[in-house]
Amino acid sequence: MGLYLSELVVIDVLFVLVASFLAVWVYFQHCYKYWEKKGVPYIKPSFPYGNIKVIFKRTISITTDAKDWYDELKSKGHKFGGVYSFWRKRLVLVDPEYIKDILTKDFQHFIDRDAFSNEKDDPKGTHLFNIQSPGWKSLRQKLTPTFTSGKMKMMFDSLLVCSDYMIDYMKKTVQDGQDLDSREILASFTTDVIGSVAFGVECNSFDSSKSDFRIRGRSMFTGNWLSGLRIFIASFSPEISRKLRLRAMKDPTTTFFTEVVRSTLEYRKKNNVRRPDFLQLLLDMHEEPIESEKHVTFNQIVANTILFFIAGFDTSSTTMNFTLYELARNPEIQKKTRDEINTVLAKHDGKITYEALQEMTYLQQVIDEAMRLWPPLITLGRICTKDYILRDTDVVIEKGTSVMISPLGLGRDPEYFPNPEKFDPERFTPEEKAKRHPYIHIPFGEGPRNCIGLRFGLMQSRIGIVRVLTNFKLSISPKTKLPLTISSEHFLLKSNEKLYLRAEKI
């Protein structure tokens, strides 16, 4: 009697699926010949992931993969090499001279960051970090004056007040006989700081019942399979993402910060209020005539306050978290750091001042060494914006190619840092730094698109560490599962394990 209709439909569907799979397989095999044809050393890919190892968790990140790529290419003696993330081709840089070329010397060929943006459909999600050329330069010029030394000093007292809340909370926690959840405490501190200096609001992050900002900060780094899929499409096919009108930022996050900015702007105008904060600087630029080079739109204010919030609270809290981790593991270094702090403060009548922080050179060595081992941004990416020939080769990097740099790989490279797992701030004395290539330690990036807020981030981190070390002696709690390992699920550095510190009040 022949096959039933339903059986024929199943056969047709299976045929289409098999044919589609074969077509995709053929396409990928063609893509995977790209670096070989160009005569570029490469790491052998596997269908369909290419060289990606971390697939479909809560999100998708190539941060830890980039470190593995660096290590493999370095072990084979290559100065650069090709990899694939699914079908997308990437060039991994190993030699610091090439890194210098791409980030600084020949920057005009690598203007754009490898970060998704969709300015047409998502203007409030397009900020200084992900904006593409030609708009980045104008925006950078507008925002640069907000991070001068004078502006840092203007915000200094607000940071000290926020650190008081942190120390009060820590004292109470220690008095109650509890260990300290380092990451949460430091993230609450930096959230309070950014709330104050960016939005002019008191966040109360140490009071969980009131902290809308802290809740919003946590939500930015969590997601479900749907947000993971959105990130996947944006990471591996920006063009398709823009056609689908996908956004870089979650809608609830954009809505929250839009309302905060709008209500703050209206309140200050109505009541003629001015505050020494980041938002005020942006509001002043917003009041400039539209044709002025200084003018910023309302959407640009929202987008860049979101960026300031993310970068300001997360990267600084991460830097402090791992710095305190290493100091808790190394009591002699902790004591030496505390002794320097106390010596400098004694010269300033016991007061923490902007100038006093600049004199704490060993503290900066400690922070630099922590960022070597635990760089907050563990992968840097640039997009080739016009064809470029790699120096001393005939290799052409074609427009649209992603170029990857691994600060994590560089920082843990035994050629540059012998016994790299050892925490040793002496690596960052002026004499030792002078022996190394300047593009080996680049936790803030380098060149025209380096981190615009690096001075603010360091000031915030120094204040937090100084306040903690002058109040407590630290050790690792037995609750902490050691050693800490790096999460492969996040774009910014996170550990898989929670860090609990045991603190003894001084």
**pLDDT tens digits along 196-254:** 888 878 887 887 656 677 777 666 655 555 555 566 666 666 676 667 666 666 677 78
User: How far apart are alpha carbons 171 and 11 in whole angstroms?
Assistant: 69
For 249-266, how does the pLDDT look when each residue is reduced to its tens digit (9 = 90+)?
A: 667 778 888 898 899 888
Higher pLDDT, 487 or 383: 383
Taking all residues of the chain, what is their mean pLDDT, rounded to a whole number?
87
CATH number for the domain including 483?
Answer: 1.10.630.10
Structural domain includes residue 150: yes
Residue 170 confidence (pLDDT) above 60:
yes
Q: What are phi and psi of 97, to 5 degrees?
A: -65, -40
The whole-number average pLDDT for the span 185-201 is 89
Structural domain includes residue 125: yes
Q: Which domain holds residue 482?
A: 99-363+411-433+446-505
Which residues are registered as beta bridge partners of 83? Answer: 90
Q: Which residues contact 293 (CB under 8 A, 6 or more apart)?
A: 138, 141, 142
Q: Which of 362, 490, 380, 488 is nearest to 444 (CA)?
A: 380
Q: Are 441 and 471 in contact (CB under 8 A)?
A: no
DSSP per-residue codes, 330-343: -HHHHHHHHHHHHH
Q: Are 303 and 125 in contact (CB under 8 A)?
A: yes
For 273-325, how does the pLDDT look when each residue is reduced to its tens digit (9 = 90+)?
A: 888 788 888 888 998 999 888 899 999 999 898 888 877 778 999 999 999 99
For residue 58, the model assigns a pLDDT of: 43
Structural domain includes residue 158: yes
Question: Where is the binding site for heme, in residues?
Answer: 451
Structural domain includes residue 333: yes
Question: Where is the binding site, in residues?
Answer: 451
User: How far apart are alpha carbons 295 and 203 in whole angstroms?
Assistant: 29
R_g (Cα) of the chain, nearest Å: 24
Q: Minimum mean pLDDT among 48-52, 54-58, 344-348, 387-391: which range?
A: 54-58
Structural domain includes residue 476: yes
Structural domain includes residue 451: yes
Q: What are phi and psi of 85, to 5 degrees?
A: -110, 105
Task: Let me know the angle formed at the C-alpha of 386 by 384 and 387, rounded to the nearest 5 degrees.
Answer: 90
What pTM value is reported for the model? 0.89
Number of domains in the chain: 1
Structural domain includes residue 43: no
For 427-485, how does the pLDDT look when each residue is reduced to its tens digit (9 = 90+)?
A: 999 999 999 999 999 999 999 999 999 999 999 999 999 999 999 999 999 999 999 99
The whole-number average pLDDT for the span 174-190 is 95
Residue 48 confidence (pLDDT) above 90:
no
What pLDDT band is residue 492 in, cutting at 50, 70 and 90? confident
Which residues are registered as beta bridge partners of 405? Answer: 380
Structural domain includes residue 50: no
